[in-house]
Amino acid sequence: MKGYRKARKTIEVSVGESVRIMRELQELSQAELAALTGIAQSTISAIENNRINLGVERAKALAIALKCHPAVLVFPGWEIASLQAA
């Protein structure tokens, strides 16, 4: 495909680390994020420590609370190439 550039991984960040980074940037505690999302604080801790998978529904809830796109949480460290007309 002409004008297409494949996305590449730029840094090593786990899904859990991306959740923690976004939470800390919002200056939220795990308990505050739990209250905003309805996800138990223990589950948020497990996600941040990569003990359980994020999952689609949790990603959506966290993205809304953290005011970001779910892809920011699910695909951390990936560069998104801009689209160009061929």
Domain map (residue ranges) of the chain: 1-86
CA-closest candidate to residue 26, choices 8, 46, 44, 4: 44
Distance CA 23, CA 32 (A): 10
More confident position, 9 or 67: 67
Q: How confident is the model over 51-80, as a mean pLDDT?
A: 88
Distance CA 52, CA 43 (A): 8
> What's the pLDDT band for 83 if we cut at 50, 70, 90?
very low
CA-closest candidate to residue 80, choices 11, 7, 1, 12: 7
Q: Structure pTM? A: 0.75
Out of 1.10.10.10, 1.10.260.40, 1.10.1740.10, 3.40.50.300, which CATH number does the structure's domain 1-86 have? 1.10.260.40
